[in-house]
Amino acid sequence: MGRKKKELPLLEGIDIVDVAAEGKAIAKVERPDRPGQQMVIFIPYGAPGDIADIKIDRKKHSFAEGHIERLVKPSEIRVEPRCRHFGICGGCKWQHLPYEAQLDLKRRQVVDALDRIGKVEYPEVKSTLGSKQQWGYRNKMEYTACDKRWRTWEEMRSAEADAPVLPALGFHIPGAFDKVLHIEECLLQEEKGDQIRNAIYDFAVTNGLSFFNIRDNHGLLRTVMIRTASTGEIMVCVVFGEADSEGIKAVMEMLEDRFPEIDSLLYVVNLKLNDSITDQKVEVWKGRDYIEEEMEGLHFRVNAKSFYQTNSAQAYELYKVARRFAGLEERSDYLPLVYDLYTGTGTIANFVARNARKVVGIEYVPEAIEDAKLNSKVNGIDNTLFYAGDMKNVLTDSFIQEHGCPEVMIVDPPRAGMHEDVVKTILRTLPGVLVYVSCNPATQARDLALLSEAYEITDVQPVDMFPHTHHVENVVRLQLRPQGSR
């Protein structure tokens, strides 16, 4: 017989004192094995000021993870979550915190990363730039179909023993690839998204169409992506897990009839083991294969595979900060050469191009570079050049010699930050101004420490792209130090 697992304790009347970088609340208790030393407990859905009974779920050497078993005294800052799925879905972990508190916590994440990881000098970090739209702000949502929905303990206890388990169209339960929570409403996208998703679900159930079995890789309805652009245009892409032409036709005809306002109605037949459609053919059922976003008179074409910032209105605010930090707000006789690293579909590059002599964009994904070139063409922009490839292999000394040494460089890397070789190339190139846009303050702070040998930080502006989550974007302006002070 295996060794019986030790029952982990229930701690009563514990004060929750703070929130950590990953969004979980923090409590501190004395370690039972080392009196006088504190152990940190990470707790989801807690608020600073809560007093709670906390059940320990996992214990490590120096920290533990737990959940609130009973809220003894709620924090004064707590607010009532609006979403019926809050606490189960895992998407918006901060709906119970007032928005001003969320913005303050995001600023503190940035400060903590600069202090603890970067260990660099920096000016006062500005207050987080909040999103004017705190609900319905997402322009893209992806939903997963599953033949057996995940049920809460309450649902299982109240269900009849022989009641059939219904399918789901919703979100993966955090940490469980094969468990999907059925969603009846999501407050992060416009209401039209709920109507379309629920119509697909009801039609499939009523007509006996199969939902995907994630473990066995079969079933017709697999995933649904809905995009709603700032221009009002709508894209729906239904991904099917079987090449059932009759079933596909039935779903697509229903969407065409029920929702004539859809501008781009697409489908994909994906028979692979994973959900990615980047290597799959996208079929157009009705309309165009793209929708358009608009920003300051510029139009950006977004297709089913395109990356575009998920909060359109706040992306505009983010790019305005980056443009201001780069000194590219006003037209002048002096037009700098700009490099835009990790350019994606060229949104920032095209956004700043009117105030630059030339913008050179580099991106790893070839399809994104094709989108970037198309976006320049659509907008009549002729002073951009785009290159695809691994950043550390493209951005070389010979590349810079060929295209010129940039006076301004904008970088917007993925969560992992910049490769060390890219940082070294920047330190050899030494653009006068470097603007670093990041979705991960921790890796940004690490890179800033490496860049500090030649640059000083002059401005730090956190931007909230995702209300009710712990995620924060941060924009940092770096100025080249005078040669004698390096």
CB 365 within 8 A of CB 390: no
Q: Which two tokens stand for residue 352?
A: 């700043």
- Distance (Å, rounded) from C-alpha 457 to C-alpha 37? 37
Q: Closest Cα partner for 454 from 413, 410, 485?
A: 485
- Distance (Å, rounded) from C-alpha 68 to C-alpha 55? 6
Angle between helices 420-429 and 441-451 (to 10 degrees): 40
Provide the b/e sequence for 208-229 (b: ≥16 CB within 10 Å).
Answer: ebbbbbbeeeebbbbbbbbbbb
The number of beta carbons lying within 10 Å of the beta carbon of residue 83 is 18
- Distance (Å, rounded) from C-alpha 150 to C-alpha 171? 10
Reply yes or no on whether 439 is catalytic: yes
- Distance (Å, rounded) from C-alpha 89 to C-alpha 149? 12
Report, as residue numbers or ranges, the catalytic residues: 439
